[in-house]
Amino acid sequence: MRKNNWIVLALVLILPAMLFSVSCAKKEVASAPEVTPMAQPMEDTTKADAAAAEKARLEAERLQAEEAQRAMMAARQAFINDDIYFEFDSAALLPMAQETLSQKADYLLNNSGLSVTIEGNCDERGTAAYNLALGERRADAAKAFLVNLGVNASQITTISYGEERPVDMGHNEEAWAKNRRDHFTLN
Amino acid sequence: MTIQNNVLKNLLRQIFLLILLGSFASGSFADIKYFDLTNPFLRKIPMAVPVFRAMTASPEERAQVAIFSDRLQEMLDFSGYFKMLDRASFLYDPQTSGISEKDLNFANWTAVGAELLITGGLQLEGNNLVVELRLFDTFKAKLLIGKRYRGDKGEQRAIVRRFCSEVLMALTGNPGFFDSQLAFVSNGSGNKEIFLCDFDGRNIHQLTKKRSITTFPDWSMDGRYLAFTSFVNGPSQIFIHNLKNGQERHVIYKGVQISPVWSPTRFELAASLSITGDQEIYLLTGEGKMIKRLTDSRGIDVDMAWSPDGKKIAFVSNRSGRPQIYIQEIDSGRVQRLTFEGNYNTQPNWSPKGGMIAYSSMEGGEINIFVIDVDGNNPIQLTYNQGDNEAPSWSPDGSLIVFSSTREGKSRIYVMTAFGTDQRRLLTLPGEQSYPRWSPNIPQ
């Protein structure tokens, strides 16, 4: 009977120790388990579990950081790529534009160190001087909206290109609608 | 030699008489009504400009007279007042027939329908040109102008310009536009830059090389300065360029700076600035220093044009909802709306004769040039169904209008009479041309 107990004890000691030496990456792994009284096996199990948990935690953290970075890049891309659009001869902010601007405000509030330039543009119809003025009004309207949402005015500069910098060179309403826009760039 | 002396004596006598007559000036010529001033272009006066005589008949002279007579004919043709008769129909040989009154058979000219005749004699003495030019009324068999010019070969064009001014002065009471230039914008280099040329589209040269967006040229009253705007330093800024010495300064104010226009009577500029965050019109010195704010109205105020007496500006404002043209007195600040027809009226330009304003109006997706009298009555459309027609600018005598048009596809510079007749393209460069601006007559 005593012999069986000792065999069992040995197995119980040796197996976890083997597991312990295989699974743990850290150098602090004990090279060989000591033959100690009955209390030790539970501690080692806990250590192994703790190590596994630690690894899982680190992995999760890494994934979370990657995700956050991806989200940040996406937010930055959206900030730069999402223009807001206007109706003909108008600098009024449409509901869709206001929504987009709210998102941009969030981004700027989260990144108060950034500075942005709002570029106001018009379609090719109408005349050059008037359109230069209209473009400025469009840029200023967006700035005022952002400032109202709490963005620091000193973060924002505005410029107007009037009808001078269309994104679509077409001569139809589709093209014109794309050109009546504010475009946002980060400095 | 004797013949030449006689010609000279004749000429001097004529000129002397002319000077005497000239002292009763407008009186005597007004009796002889050449043009119906309500529309002088409606009935063009048939004019004959035969090839001039080569006074010593040397081969070089013969070559020069052909060029000279062509240039003179071209330049007078440009004015729109005359119908130039075809030389093939003339019963006249300049080398054998006369060029002065006593030697001319006016019946030969009235027979081919000419009411005005210009004869000339050209002599080359080394590098020097001596040119005699005479304008005749063929039906009255009368000399109207006789002139003699000396210059070197390179001054041919200056002589032609001078005589054309004399002709127009004699017939209309106004010397015309032959000493004027055009400024315009062209983007053939890939960027909008400012170009200059003579009034007839010759001698084009590029003024700016900013490699940015450079537009809105405007001439100072003596032709010495050009103001324009450029994005070269960031947002649109006003530049003041001295054409004599090439020096340039730019104006520093917060916000977008648009459409600088020179006063026709003082070294001052009106400009649209958004210093307060709202575009308003300000008066600046010719060096760009602030004098005072002119408009006080929320909304866009832009696109100015001075009255020829320098007391008023026409400008565009959307204070009533859509862009319309208004007139404001500089001193009193009193404002009155000018345009009530149409929903989009911009680009006013005030005739140097004072009574009319040209502008562009957008309707049904098309932009056309209109003229209206300064009281806001009788808007008249000058261009129809031919693309977008923009940025009208009057010649210094108020007889012609230069503008841009996309009727051929790309935007080009066109010219027409003040009544909308004789619309023709003035020049063609790579890229597109726009925003032409006619200078005053600039003494050379």
* pLDDT tens, position by position, A76-126: 998 999 999 999 999 999 999 999 999 999 999 999 899 999 999 999 998
Report the CATH number of the B2-172 domain: 3.40.50.10070
Residue B159 and residue B240: Cα distance in Å, rounded? 32
Identify which has the larger pLDDT, A173 or A15: A173
Model pLDDT, residue A25 = 45
Nearest to B258 by CA among B276, B243, B239: B239
The interface residues of chain A toward chain B in range 113-172, judged by CB-CB distance below 8 A, are 125-130, 132-137, 140, 159-161, 164-165
Residues of chain B with pLDDT under 70: 1-33
* pLDDT tens, position by position, A139-171: 999 999 999 999 999 999 999 999 999 999 998
Model pLDDT, residue B365 = 85
| Residue among A119, A121, A125, A136 with most chain B CBs within 10 A, to mutate | A136
Put simply, the answer to whether B316 touches A129 (Cβ < 8 Å) is: yes
Report yes or no: B53 and B66 within 8 Å, Cβ to Cβ.
no
Search chain A and give the residue with CA nearest B324.
A130
pLDDT at A39 over 70: no
> Which 3-state string (H, E, C) describes B109-136?
HHHCCCCEEEEEEEEEECCEEEEEEEEE
In chain B the first and final C-alpha atoms are separated, in Å, by 34
Q: What is the pTM of this model?
A: 0.84
Residue A140 and residue B275: Cα distance in Å, rounded? 13
Model pLDDT, residue B13 = 55
Put simply, the answer to whether A125 touches B362 (Cβ < 8 Å) is: yes
Handedness of CA B106, B4, B166, B183 (dihedral sign): positive
**Minimal Cβ distance to A133: which of B258, B365, B367:** B258
Model pLDDT, residue B126 = 85
Q: What is the set of domains in chain A, with CATH numbers?
A: 2-66 (no CATH), 82-186 (3.30.1330.60)
Model pLDDT, residue B252 = 87
Model pLDDT, residue A75 = 87
Chain A: nearest CA to B248, how far in angstroms?
A: 22
Ranges for all domains in chain B classified under CATH 2.120.10.30? 181-438
- Per the structure block, which two tokens stand in for A80? 């730069």
- B253 inside 8 A of chain A by CB: no
Ranges for all domains in chain B classified under CATH 3.40.50.10070? 2-172
- B322 inside 8 A of chain A by CB: yes
Model pLDDT, residue A41 = 57
Put simply, the answer to whether B258 touches A129 (Cβ < 8 Å) is: yes
Search chain B and give the residue with CA nearest A91.
B299
Predicted complex ipTM: 0.85
- B413 inside 8 A of chain A by CB: no
Model pLDDT, residue B187 = 97
At the second CATH level, the architecture of B181-438 is 6 Propeller (2.120)
Model pLDDT, residue B317 = 96
Q: How far is CA B382 from CA B372, B419, B421, in A?
A: 11, 7, 8
